[in-house]
């Protein structure tokens, strides 16, 4: 902690141990090389094999990027009558379709990227207006944005009923899957058993032949890729430390644009930098899991005090000891202002028992989720980034917003548990890995043998008994 030197990045590891390519003009995306200065040093280092595969991927992406001859050839397959893939295109693609909030989107960009990397496919993003200009390009010398003239129109129409979905094709025993020019992969939380067969080894093999895969999901599905036997060796070499898979990939891929980063750095320097310690508190109250205000406030405070993240408020107007005591800054993110006002008032009115001083800050209170508004999304991403700069982080169970912050920061958050799950206020996560909240059952693919890979690679999530996470 303490003041940092923002102009010289020589002391910080600006390329994150070789994760980032040095081949970018820094000013076009300040966050890319500055993030390392603002964040605490990562306790995890990427493997040299991961670095090698990322550079290989970048070369493939450049070769197949939009507006190249190879891209045009692949796209032409989509235009040809019948849409048959036998024109055997050299470049194959995964087209990401955004779904739900920023947290969901980041988790699925990362998951889709790893899937593409494992299959030597190229990841392209469908970027709607509400998501334009939020992220920098992650691959040097090429764009990851799907061109506006992409032959398949209206990607948002793909959903449960799409006849081109992999699940529906399987269910109708369509024998043409591996010769199709494109297939839609339907992987949001409301996916069905046939869709879930995406994670089976035979499906993975079939889909390898399809030049265009359109993918929609809202979850971190990476843990299920670790259960596909064919990927096991490669993944082990890529990620000798399974608890840092998301941490490395999200820091590699997700760099907020200068517009977002400007907010992050201004807020940080104005309100958080001078504190001795920063505690992030990410509060999320879901409509379908309502918790009364007083009950939630009590849970938040009992976590913060019980885990000694904040000192208790005393009965006294002034502190008994006030020399050399620390200043703690609490960054609260929530859609409404009420929790942070309560907590701020409590620490303002009376001294703490330790003499420490606690300031409470909340950058915005948007009222409600408005994912189709660009400016709203800019604020959300800025706050996720700000949370990732914390020294200690408290998150809410089931929230992908918190998952992304913990991953970017390499932090093991204290998760505010659902009261239906545990009487404890919170529990510290074993790693910065997000939870795959609604995974397919491994028996669906591998019969009873599915349990074996499960035991070795994944564990139950801290915040959801039915969810799996890498460990």
Given a contact cutoff of 8 angstroms between Cβ atoms, the answer to whether 111 and 221 are in contact is yes
Q: What angle do CA 137, 239, 216 make, to 5 degrees?
A: 50
Answer for which of 114, 254, 329, 380 binds ligand GDP (CB under 6 A) is 380
Given a contact cutoff of 8 angstroms between Cβ atoms, the answer to whether 386 and 402 are in contact is no
251 vs 176: CA distance, rounded Å: 38
For residue 19, count CB atoms less than 10 angstroms from its CB and return exposed for 0-12, middle for 13-18, buried for 19 or more.
buried
CB closer to ligand GDP out of 10 and 288: 288
Site residues (CB under 6 A) for ligand GDP, limited to 261-300: 284
CB closer to ligand GDP out of 168 and 390: 390
β-pair partners for 277 = 328
Residue nearest to ligand GDP (CB): 101
Please report whether residue 379 would count as binding ligand GDP according to CB under 6 A: yes
Interacting span for ligand GDP (CB under 6 A) from 161-169, 257-265, 363-371, 411-419: 363-371
Answer for which of 131, 401, 436, 446 binds ligand GDP (CB under 6 A) is 401
Answer for which of 356, 383, 385, 433 binds ligand GDP (CB under 6 A) is 383
Token pair, residue 137, equals 């390009």
Interacting span for ligand GDP (CB under 6 A) from 27-35, 129-137, 312-320, 377-385: 377-385
Please report whether residue 364 would count as binding ligand GDP according to CB under 6 A: yes
332 vs 328: CA distance, rounded Å: 13
Interacting span for ligand GDP (CB under 6 A) from 141-149, 317-325, 331-339, 463-471: 331-339
* Residues near ligand GDP (CB under 6 A), total: 21
Mask for 81-100, x = binds ligand GDP (CB under 6 A): -------------------x
37 vs 184: CA distance, rounded Å: 40
DSSP one-letter string for 321-345 = --SS--EEEEEEE-SSSHHHHHHHH
Closest distance of CB 334 from ligand GDP, Å: 5
Please report whether residue 213 would count as binding ligand GDP according to CB under 6 A: no
- Three-class DSSP category at 371: coil
Closest distance of CB 387 from ligand GDP, Å: 9
Would you give the DSSP letter of residue 300? H
Would you give the DSSP letter of residue 413? P
Residues that bind ligand GDP (CB under 6 A): 100-104, 284, 333-335, 364, 366, 369, 371, 376-377, 379-380, 383, 399-401
């Amino acid at each position: 902690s303490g003041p940092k030197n923002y102009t010289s990045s020589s002391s910080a590891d600006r390329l994150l141990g070789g994760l980032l390519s040095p081949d970018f003009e820094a000013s076009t995306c300040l966050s890319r090389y500055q993030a390392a200065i603002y964040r605490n040093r990562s306790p995890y280092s990427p493997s040299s094999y991961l670095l090698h595969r990322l550079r290989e991927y970048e070369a493939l992406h450049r070769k197949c990027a939009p507006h190249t001859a190879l891209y045009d050839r692949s796209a032409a397959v989509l235009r040809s009558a019948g849409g048959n893939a036998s024109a055997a295109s050299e470049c194959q693609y995964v087209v990401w379709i955004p779904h739900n909030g920023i947290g969901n989107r980041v988790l699925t960009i990362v998951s889709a990227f790893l899937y593409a990397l494992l299959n030597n496919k190229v990841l392209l993003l469908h970027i709607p207006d509400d998501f334009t200009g939020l992220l920098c390009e992650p691959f040097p010398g090429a764009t990851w944005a799907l061109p506006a003239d992409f032959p398949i129109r209206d990607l948002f129409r793909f959903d449960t009923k799409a006849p081109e979905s992999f699940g529906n094709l399987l269910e109708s025993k369509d024998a043409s899957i591996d010769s199709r020019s494109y297939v839609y992969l339907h992987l949001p939380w409301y996916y069905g058993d046939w869709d879930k067969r995406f994670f089976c080894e035979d499906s993975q093999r079939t889909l390898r032949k399809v030049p265009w895969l359109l993918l929609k999901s809202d979850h971190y599905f990476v843990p299920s890729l670790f259960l596909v036997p064919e990927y096991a060796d490669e993944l082990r070499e890529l990620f000798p430390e399974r608890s840092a898979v998301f941490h490395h990939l999200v820091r590699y891929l997700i760099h907020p644009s200068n517009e977002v980063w400007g907010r992050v750095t201004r807020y940080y320097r104005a309100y958080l930098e001078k504190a001795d310690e920063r505690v992030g508190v990410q509060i999320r109250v879901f409509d379908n899991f309502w918790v009364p205000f007083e009950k939630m406030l009590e849970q938040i405070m009992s976590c913060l005090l019980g885990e000694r993240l904040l000192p208790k408020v005393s009965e006294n107007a002034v502190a008994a000891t006030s020399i050399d005591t620390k200043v703690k800054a609490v960054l609260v993110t929530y859609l409404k202002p009420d929790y942070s006002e309560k907590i701020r008032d409590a620490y303002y009115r009376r001294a703490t028992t330790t003499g420490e001083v606690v300031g409470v800050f909340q950058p915005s209170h948007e009222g409600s989720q408005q994912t189709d508004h660009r400016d709203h999304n800019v604020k959300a991403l800025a706050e996720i980034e700000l949370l990732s700069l914390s020294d200690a982080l408290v998150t809410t169970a089931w929230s992908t917003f918190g998952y992304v912050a913990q991953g970017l920061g390499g932090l093991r958050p204290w998760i505010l548990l659902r009261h239906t799950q545990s009487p404890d206020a919170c529990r510290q996560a074993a790693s910065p890995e997000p939870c795959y909240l609604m995974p397919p059952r491994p028996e669906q693919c591998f019969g009873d043998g599915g349990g074996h890979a499960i035991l070795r690679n994944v564990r139950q999530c801290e915040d959801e008994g039915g969810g799996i996470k890498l460990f």
